[in-house]
Amino acid sequence: MCGWLFTHKRSCRGTRSGFSLLELLAVITLMGIIVAVAVPRIGNQSQKTKATACDVQRGNIDVQAQLWFRNRGRWPARDLNDIAGNADYFPDGLPVCPVDGSAYVFDTAKKQVLEHDHAK
């Protein structure tokens, strides 16, 4: 059957051992399409995750500020420098916003950490 294409009988075996260039090209193309679709979604999730982490950290600072008030009878300073220096409340230091690296600000009137805009 394949004698007209191949001159040697050894080249005309019925079994193949490997993939053709066309098969490899098709697989690589499909992988490229999948990556092109998945990467933007993963990048967007990263930003949402950081924003969620910011909200969690604000909640943690609120809880520590309430403990500060309970123990000291006064609310922490607006810039939180007094509570930040106390290892009993923040042993690893006062956290910063994971989205933009800005410091958190405490509103002594509302008795909570102020929200801030991440769309800078």
Q: Can you spell out the DSSP letters for 20-79?
A: -HHHHHHHHHHHHHHHHHHHHHHHHHHHHHHHHHHHHHHHHHHHHHHHHHHHHSSPPPTT
Q: Do residues 105 and 114 make contact, with C-beta atoms less than 8 angstroms apart?
A: yes
Least confident residue range of 12-16, 35-39, 89-93, 97-101: 12-16
Q: What is the mean pLDDT of residues 94-107?
A: 92
pLDDT above 80 for 15: no
Query: In this predicted structure, what is the pLDDT of residue 33?
Result: 87
Residue 5 has what pLDDT?
A: 52
Task: Assign 11 to helix, strand or coil.
Answer: helix
Instruction: Indicate if the pLDDT at residue 18 is higher than 60.
Output: yes
